[in-house]
A and B are shown apart, each in its own frame.
Chain A
Amino acid sequence: MTIEQLKKIREEASQKMNMIGKGNAFRIVVGMATCGITAGAEPVYEALQKIVKDRSLENISVISVGCMGECALEPIVEVFDSKGFRTTYCKVKPMDAERIIDTHILNGLVVEDLLIAKYKKIGGYYGA
């Protein structure tokens, strides 16, 4: 590989990863390090993938990633949207996958009861 080829891979891949300004495209990531998998992230990931596949939602990519650092709140699912916002859902169960797709992706709403802000305390206050 040459440096030019490396640059080309970088451009293509960042184009693919970047959701900003892509209309109704979403990148959904599931934390799947040992911590996430132990907490049950695998069935969540599979459920999300199945919905996306079954409904042929081509603008949505479901990706497994490493540890986000919030061990107590796993399994964690994050949704990155075309406006550059990052929504973090925690303690997600496989049965929540449908709600995340329906509510968040298709209707543009958030799944309130899974928002990390409701669970994580920062400096004595719950976030958001």
Chain B
Amino acid sequence: MALRYQVVVCGGTHCSSSDSQAIYEEFQRQIVAFEIDENVSVFMSGCFGFCDKGPVVIVYPDSTLYTSVNVRDVAEICKDHLMNGSVVTRKAYTNITPEDEAKIQKFRETNLYAHQERIALRNCGIINPEDITEYIARDGYSALAKVLTEMTPEAVIEEVKKSKLRGRGGAGFPTGMKWGLAARNKGGQHYLICNADEGDPGAFMDRAVLEGDPFSVIEAMTIGGYAIAASQGYIYVRAEYPLAVERVNFAIKEAYKLGLLGNDILGSGFSFDLETRLGAGAFVCGEETALMASIEGERGIPRNKPPFPADAGLWKRPTIINNVETFANIPSIIIKGGEWFNHIGTEKSAGTKVFALGGKINNTGLLEIPMGTTLREVIYNIGGGIPNDKKFKAVQTGGPSGGCLTAKHLDCSIDYDTLVSLGSMMGSGGMIVMDETNCMVDVARFFLEFTVDESCGKCTPCREGTKRMLELLEKITRGEATLHDLVDLESLANSVKDSALCGLGQTAPNPVLSTLNHFRDEYLAHIVEKRCPAGVCKALIKYYITNDCIGCGKCKRNCPTHAISGDIKQRHTINPNICIKCGACKLACPVGAIVTA
């Protein structure tokens, strides 16, 4: 027999103090007594908000609200209502307003987007990304209609300027100003490019937008094309995002079918063509000049600026490159106005920002918050804190180009300028949370390893400098470095920062500089004391078994190198000469008797 009724007992503080626990237990007993426990389930929920009428019990599916319920009433509700289907009118609250109704239904919902504000992600998870009519239903293409019928290109740029929207790719250049620079170059072919070559480890905001709401990017690009007089656009998306590529291509086709791309869009005389270009996975192709080289069919390496792309970009023509998320904000700005947008967020960083929250955090995922939200709110409210009650240590923003923020920055506001002043950067929006078990030297080494791998090799500071920095870091993690190496590392980092050709090289030393700045004591512990405080760097840790050992032998069986010896029910020991520090014993130990030092 299928479930017929659900009984929800309010477990809010007020109801709990008036015996909701006893009522809950009585229900559990009575449904068994009446033999209806197979088709009735009873559970406690959070507060419904009927505290003045408590204790409250709600019976679904009819949403009957019982108020001031007593333990003695339970048997009657079970017999009359749950068995025979007739409401116990004596206790039922009949005067239900629509507001009450909303409260009654509330237990079904969790405020999925508590503390968030969704502009760029407004349609993600709501609409079918393969159905253009669903996008249109959610005010899609009304921005384009407004632009093409009521606004001049100059007015569009003015509106974007007014919104104070800044580039969401990381550097934060004002979008309206950028568009204005290209529009200044009159005549000839102009190009518009969407940078969807999202390469930062741990970042997937652009993928989510392209997969969940590709039309908003396409509409925004059409608007941008109108504003800067470009008739051709490209979406440069990495081939590692096959689903995003598929959905974008599908969306472009749909837009062409409805005449929302191509010639004479909406009867305005304006024409705009859009194509995708696939990136082959080089991180450097996210840099705008390298990206354009890649579209031209050249090897993806950056070149000097100036000339800036707005003057001479793709095929030496004026070109504007914006990030996916930047574009995703444009339709809302046009519909609701620049003023509306610049009132969200902080004065210098308007609007919202999407972050990909990952690492040691309970709610990993995507979130969109107004600029100026504090780090504490992101980590503890939206992120739900650090798992296993570990201590928060730092968060890396901006991926391999950014830096880390520490516990003392928890109350700092998240916006472009604050992050830069703290030695990090907004970056594209990856946030990797680290707890006390992360070694900061190892984190810096990880990011640098990534940059060394991805360096295009054109300029010496990046090609050679980052490689030498990585060698120094590895020396530190092996416990072989001297204080002199630390001085070398720091001066090399500053030289690379000052002399590399493109943004990627210039920012590559950031993880090193910022961990040196905030966690110098950890570097010193590695160098002077030959010790890794977090117990991560293999060369510097030693596993040993404490007195808590119960002699079960699990560690011994799991050790791949037979480094552990000991008799059953006796304390085991690890032979450090054979131990390869894989940690298998520590994972296997049921009593936590294996520790590192």
- Chain B 1-55 interface residues, beta-carbon cutoff 8 Å to A: 2-6, 41, 43, 45-46
Size class of B's contact patch?
35 or more
CB closest residue in chain A, given B60: A109
Task: Decide: A34 and B211 in contact? CB cutoff 8 A.
Answer: yes
B560 at the binding interface (Cβ < 8 Å): no
Whether A122 and B382, one on each chain, are in contact in the complex, defined by CB atoms closer than 8 angstroms, is yes
User: Known contacts being A102-B2, A121-B362, is A6 close to B136, with CB within 8 Å?
Assistant: yes
Q: How far is the CA of A74 from the CA of B554 in the complex (A)?
A: 34
A86 touches B (CB below 8 Å): yes
Known contacts A34-B243, A128-B46; is A85 also within 8 Å of B109 by CB? Answer: yes
User: Which of the candidate stretches B99-107, B282-290, B446-454, B463-471 sits at the interface with the other chain?
Assistant: B99-107
B3 contacts A103, C-beta separation under 8 Å: yes
Whether A100 is near chain B, meaning CB under 8 Å from some CB there, is: no
List the B residue with the shortest CB-CB distance to A70.
Answer: B365
A34 vs B362: C-alpha distance when bound (angstroms):
20
Expressed in whole angstroms, the minimum distance between the Cβ of B55 and any Cβ of chain A is 17
Q: In chain A, what residue has the closest Cβ to B146?
A: A3
Q: Answer yes or no: A56 CB below 8 A from chain B CBs.
A: no
Query: Which residues of the partner chain A approach B121 to less than 8 Å between Cβ atoms?
Result: 69
> In the complex where A66-B125, A68-B125, A122-B114 touch, is A9 in contact with B136 (Cβ < 8 A)?
yes
In the bound assembly, the distance between CA atoms of A86 and B111 in angstroms comes to 10
For B374-395 the 0/1 string (1 means CB < 8 A from A) is 0000001110110000000000
**How big is the A interface, by class?**
35 or more
Q: Which residues of B contact A121 (CB under 8 A)?
A: 362-363, 384-385
Is A127 in contact with B211, judged by CB distance below 8 angstroms?
Answer: no
A110: chain B residues at CB < 8 Å are 6, 60, 107-108
CA of A77 to CA of B411 in the docked complex: distance in angstroms?
35
Closest to B133 in A: A13
List residues of chain A with CB within 8 A of the CB of B134: 13, 17
Q: Are A127 and B6 in contact (CB under 8 A)?
A: no
Given A9-B136, A66-B124, A66-B125: A33 in contact with B110 (beta carbons within 8 A): no
Q: Which residue of chain A lies nearest to B114 when distances are taken between CB atoms in the complex?
A: A122
* B141 and A6 within 8 A (CB): yes
**A83 CB → nearest B CB, Å:** 7
> Are B129 and A122 touching (Cβ within 8 A)?
no
Chain B residues near A70 (CB-CB < 8 A): 112, 363, 365
- Is residue A10 contacting chain B, with contact meaning CB distance below 8 A? yes
> What is the CA–CA distance of A122 and B41 in the complex, to the nearest angstrom?
26
Known: A16-B137, A120-B110, A128-B107. A63 touches B128 (CB 8 A): yes
A122-B110 contact, Cβ under 8 Å, with A65-B212, A72-B364 = yes
Chain A residue nearest to B111 (CB atoms) is A127
Which listed residue (A13, A88, A109, A124) contacts B109, Cβ 8 A?
A88
**Across the two chains, which residue of chain B brings its CB closest to A67?**
B208
- B108→A12 contact, CB < 8 A: no
Pair A69/B367 contact, Cβ less than 8 Å? yes
Asked if B258 is at the interface (CB within 8 A of a chain A CB), the reply is yes
Partner-binding segment picked from B68-76, B259-267, B339-347: B259-267
Give 8 new A-B contacts, CB below 8 A, not counting A2-B267, A122-B110.
Answer: A17-B134, A67-B125, A68-B124, A71-B366, A120-B112, A122-B114, A122-B363, A122-B381
Task: Across the A-B interface, give the 10 residue pairs with the lowest CB-CB distance, nearest first.
Answer: A66-B212, A108-B61, A127-B110, A68-B125, A13-B137, A121-B384, A69-B366, A13-B133, A14-B137, A117-B110
